[in-house]
Structures are given as C-alpha cells and as structure tokens.
Chains A and B, each alone.
Chain A
Amino acid sequence: MAHGVMGKMLFVDLGKKQLKEETLDPKTVREYIGGYGLGAKIIFERQKPGVDPLGPDAMLGIVTGMLTGTDAIGGSRYVMVGKSPLTGGWGDANSGGNIGPFLKFGGFDAVFFSGISEKPVYLYIDNGKAEIRDASDLWGKDTFDTEDILRERHGKKLEVACIGPSGEKLSLMAAVMNNKGRAAGRSGLGAVMGSKKLKAIAINGSMEIPVADKEAAKAMRKRHLSDMGPMVKFMQEFGTCGMLEMCAKVDDAPFKNWSGTGEGDMPNYSDIGGPHIIAQQEKRYGCYRCPIACGGIMKPSTGEYKWGEHAHKPEYETQAMFGTNLLVNNVDSIIMASDICNRYGIDTIGAGAVVAFAMECYEKGIITAKDTDGIEMKWGDHRASIALLEKIVRREGIGDILADGTKVAAQKLGKGSDKYAMQIGGQEIPAHDSRGGHGFAIAYCSEPTPGRHTMSGEMPHPPGTMPEYDPTTFKGRGKPHMIGSAFSNYYNAAGLCMICYGDGYGKAEYFIEAIQTITGWDVTREEIIKTGMRINAMRQAFNIREGIITPWKFPERMLGKPPKTVGPRAGITWKLEDIYTEYYEAMGWDTETGKPKKETLLDLGMDFVAKELYK
C-alpha cells in the first residue's frame, strides 16, 4: 500500500450510468505521482487516439496528488485532465481551494468520466460511496448558485467542483470552478465537462489519508512553517495582484493585445496596481490549510459595477488581461470581469485575450459596431470590455463567435484577423511576455500544453533546486530548464501549489523531506528529476499520438516581428529554433517533431509508450 494516497480510483461511464472502482497500485504512484502524471497515463492507456474531445469517447479526469490534503505546505491542488478541445492535444488545468483534499477525504485519489449522460447529472461522493444524481434543476445556474444549492442539499461541509453556463454552452474557454472563484481554467476542460452533461462533482468526506509517519509529518509541517521563504510576506499582503506594477514597468505584462508598451501606450498602469485592488479587499482567502492565503474576498461594490457577494480578488493574470492588455485603467471593471468569469465559469486569461482581439479587429475595421450590437470596441473602454464579456459568456451575438477563443474566432471572421489572435496552438497566451522572458518563451512553445505560465523552468523554486544559468541567453539553458521543468512537473503532479512551493519552502531539501515523510519513500533529487521528465514525456506522448508536432508556433508578434520600438524590451526579435532546441535535446525529444526518442522512453521505464509510438 502506498502512503499519501487513498489507493482508489473511480471510473464513471455517464452514458451507461456505470461506476467502477479500481485500485491505484503503488508502482504507478511512485512513477507517475498523481495529478496530470497519473491522469496522462490513465487516459493514454484507455482512450483511443483521434477522439472528439467533446464526444462520448473522450475521458475527463479530476485527479489529486500524493501530497494533496496532507501536512505538506500548499497541498491543496487538484488537476482536471483530458483531451483539450482548444489545442486538440493533451489538456490539463490546475486549481486550489478545498475540493482536491476533499476528493481524497471522500475516498478517491481520482475520478475519470467517459460517455455522455442523456440529461444533466452530478456525481455525489460521500465517504467512499459514489452515485450519479439528477442535475436538471442545476443546469443553467451559475457556479455560485450551483454550490449554494448543493450545500443546502448535502450539508454545509460539502465541497463542489462545477461548471457554469459557459461550460454548458461548450465555450472552448470554459473552466471547471470550485470555491466560488478558484478555477481550473486552461485547456477548455469545462467544455468537456459540459459536453458530458456533468454539472458538478460534490463531495462529503472525512476519511483519513494514510501517511507513512503521522507524528513526523506534523512535526515537519511545524518546522517548515517556521522557516518559510522571504516572499511569503509579500504574497500574504498582496497576492499575485501585487506583481502588476513591476511586470508593467518592464513590459512583461501585455499592453494593447501585445502590440504596445507601458511607456508608449499606458503610462498610468499604476492606477490598476495591487494597492488599488487591496484597498477594496474585505478579507484574505486561503486554500486548504494554506499558511500564505494569497487570495482575497472583495468588499461589496460601491461604484458603477455591481459585482456579487463573495467576489474573489482578481489574480495578476486577470488584472493584466482585462487591464493593461485592453489599456483599461479602471480597477472596478477588472474586479467585475473577474467576477463575471468566475460565475459563468470561463478562463479569465482566454476571455481577456479574446476581448483584446476584438478591440484590435475593431481598430483595424475587421469588425464594426454593427457586428457587436452597437458596442464600440475602443482601446481603454472599460464599459465596452464588460459589455462584450457579457456577450461572450452568454454566447450572444458576436459573443458566440468569440466564446471559442481567438483561434476559432479568427477562422470564422477571416479578413486577416488571425494576425491578431494571440494564441499558441489554440491556447491564449498568458500575461508574461515571451520577448525578453527566455523561460516563458521556452515553455510557451515546447511544453505539451502550449502557452502556459505555470509550467517549466523559470518558475519560482526553493533555493537550491535550479543549477546556475545565464538568464540572458538560450545558449546553455537547455539542461537547467529541463531540471526546472522536471521539478515543476513533479510538484504539480503531487498536488502542491507553485506559490507555496517556491516561496513557502525555504529550501529544496524541505520539499524532498515532505515527500519522504508523507510517503515513506527514499526519494532523491535525481529521482525527482527523472520522474518529472517521465511525467512530461507522458503528456507529450499523448500529443504525438494525436499527430501533433511541436514546438508549437508563436504568433509573429510574440517573437518580436516586428520588434518593440520603445521600453525595456525594445529591439528583441527571436527565431523559434533558438528558443527550444537545447531544451528538447536535454529532454531527449526529437528537435524536429518533439517526439520523445525511443531510448528516452525506455530509459524512463515507459516501454508501453515506446511500443505505442514506435510501432
């Protein structure tokens, strides 16, 4: 028996209304950990290639890690997994809150869904027992109402993951939501959930997670809490929204759909900085047992925009995508946009990007006010941004075209609008600039999930994790990035929060100790790196089998073609091959196709994958 896990997975065929439990074997846990590692292995083995991600043969999983819900600091995460309808490749989306730990307290490490239900349903789990329930009365409700109704029905301690109307309407940017504002937002997996007519997963759980040494784990947590990293204070005071002014100052943040600069287009970006958001925060919000609590709940609205009760504080990504990216300097409209997205269940990064796309299309005359039912999509117009967002989440008018993201919208609009679709492989680019951000550039184009800011080697890691490297160049960066990426894959799969991991753990050794203490494994740094590489190769193998060739292609603008002319990143232009080649070499992946080499797969003990990819 493995420690840190419940040792049980649930498979639910929604078409046949069948539920089946399976044991999670300890070898799989050690090799694939959990989260998207376990998820990718299970789906690779059981889902045929080429299936419609919104069809009955597609699988959708909610998966925890072996540190989720344990004494490890930041063990609050779960991952949604499946084939992404946005990219056509591997999809995953990570979220915090409480639902991850409670899935384990409910008796399961993971639940995988297949089939399509005839009518709306939800899965109810109560301490090891699971059943499919009718959700006809919940269909059409927003995520807040859905949680409230289910809690009224099943008790106040119930935890819920659900979709909102955007997921029901199969918006390819739809998110899976929990705790009224925590989002598994990327990869469009909310649409997969909607296609299955699965409204929610509702859990009552109080079962205990078996741990190798319970007393040692408690003592370890206490010790780690007393020696956390110096950035914790910043995250407690502000959370991620505190980053905006600095990211804007160095043009890491997006301006004007990535065509502008802070200096040239929005010198007053401080108007929407962290202090202005915090001024409207009522209280801090923390995920399960989090000592940092970087989230926040906002005060009731007093101005033009009437956000709802319990509106969550906008995160940096939301603040930038609905702020600087649109040249909007109105804090209230950003809080409102965040709340709309959370209630309807849609990715704030994608939604902000598609509004920016519409503004640029309007500027270029590709769309007019006639197309938008009278909304003049001018840069900086906060009212226009909110009015269009309302249309997108409801799929009304032009919102129906925009609700599937910039790639699909550009295909439908034509007229050269694809130049303004700031997406990579169908996934909208998050709010960190690849021009000047070497680590972001590598991650955006070469990871199995494109255009993601929470993957790979430049993320915060505890001191001592990453080898030294020259941050000014891609040369010599392949191996350090590979090591950073491997650690990232490991802790994401284990169910840890990246902020806690980077800023909460005072040293890399603490992270290793947490794994050892919870699981009883004699894990080493070398094993972590190899396991992380295995998880990444597993996700990439899914893509290869779907016929996807990587690196993913950047929009020309994001390679600096043409380069910016002012600001700290002026003059930067990159070639795609310079960005990813060394990283793929370090990973043992083919530099032309991104396919993990046969010897790489065999070295990682992935014989079953090698057999499938090298028939």
Chain B
Amino acid sequence: MSIEVEIAHVFRSYFNGQKSVKAEGKTVGECLNDLSSKYPMTKNMIVDSNGNLTNRFEIYLNGQSTYGTGLFTPVKEGDKIDLVYIIHGG
C-alpha cells in the first residue's frame, strides 16, 4: 500500500527537500517505519527506539487526528498522512 505523506516546509531538509513522499505500509506505524528506513535523518524522530510515537508529534490521517488508534490506525490507498510537530516553548 503506497501512502502519501505531506512534508511541512520546515521538515523538507529531512526528506531531501521533497514536499511529499511515499510510504509503504498497512498502518500508520508501518508507514512511519518505512519513512525512517528511507530517510535515516528521521530515525527516532517521530517513532522512538521502542516503537512508540514520541510526545512531540501528532499524526493526522486525511485531516483527522489519529489519537486513540495511533500507530495502529489502518491506512488505505489514496490516504494522506500529515506529521505535526508541537512542542512547548518559544
């Protein structure tokens, strides 16, 4: 399953400057793991070394938060993932 992941302008340098990238997987978690293998700079950035979503990121699927089902959220062809980075500070 090939899913589109939209990359915010501020993160494009992690993804070779691309606006969106393709990720393979049947769930959000599998797609994110695929991303970190294709783009090593993102390793442990979104999903930590224990396989959990870090508390810095919220993942949106087709504009809806995946709170609740999280990394186990199933995806299908044509879906779009957004990576949202929120920290306190500033």
Contact = CB atoms under 8 A, between A and B. Distances in A.
Interface of A: 229-231, 233-234, 237-243, 245-247, 249-250, 252, 273-275, 315-319, 431-432, 437, 440, 453-454, 458-461, 463, 466, 468, 471-472, 498-499, 502-503, 568
A230 B32 CA distance: 15
Contact of A274 (B9, B48, B50, B65): B9
Interface residues of B, number: 33
A372 to B, nearest CB: 29
13 contacts: A229-B45, A234-B14, A237-B13, A240-B89, A246-B84, A274-B9, A274-B10, A317-B90, A432-B88, A459-B87, A502-B87, A568-B60, A568-B63
B2 interface: no
A453 B88 CA distance: 6
Contact of A472 (B49, B68, B89): B68
Contacts of A499: 87, 89
Given A252-B86, A454-B89, A460-B87, 9 more contacts: A241-B90, A243-B86, A245-B8, A250-B58, A275-B9, A318-B90, A431-B90, A458-B88, A502-B56
> Which one of B56, B63, B64, B87 has the greatest number of beta carbons of chain A within 10 Å?
B87
Contact of A234 (B68, B82, B85, B89): B85
Interface of B: 8-11, 13-14, 41-45, 48-50, 52, 54-56, 58, 60, 63-65, 67-68, 82, 84-90
Given A243-B87, A246-B84, A466-B55, A238 B42 contact: no
A186 to B, nearest CB: 13
B86 A246 contact: yes
A498 B88 contact: yes
Given A250-B58, A568-B65, A233 B86 contact: no
Nearest to A318: B90
B84 A249 contact: yes
A242 B8 CA distance: 9
A238 B41 CA distance: 16
A454 B88 contact: yes
B72 to A, nearest CB: 13
Given A453-B89, A568-B63, A230 B41 contact: yes
Contact of B10 (A250, A275, A317, A319): A275
A243 B58 CA distance: 13
A316 B10 contact: no
Contacts of B90: 239-241, 243, 315-319, 431, 453
Nearest to B85: A246
A523 B60 CA distance: 39
> Which one of B60, B87, B89 has the greatest number of beta carbons of chain A within 10 Å?
B89
> Which one of B11, B60, B64 has the greatest number of beta carbons of chain A within 10 Å?
B11
A440 B89 CA distance: 12
Given A246-B86, A499-B89, A238 B10 contact: yes
Nearest to B52: A468
A479 to B, nearest CB: 15
B10 A237 contact: yes
Given A230-B44, A458-B55, A471-B67, A273 B9 contact: yes
A432 B88 CA distance: 8
A97 to B, nearest CB: 15
> Which one of B45, B49, B82, B90 has the greatest number of beta carbons of chain A within 10 Å?
B90
A89 B15 CA distance: 47
Contacts of B9: 245, 273-275
B32 to A, nearest CB: 13
**Pairs of residues from A and B, 6 with the lowest C-beta to C-beta distance, nearest first:** A240-B90, A316-B90, A230-B45, A242-B10, A315-B90, A472-B67
B36 to A, nearest CB: 9
Contacts of A458: 55, 88
Contacts of A568: 60, 63-65
B10 A234 contact: yes
Contacts of B67: 471-472
B48 A245 contact: no
B33 to A, nearest CB: 15
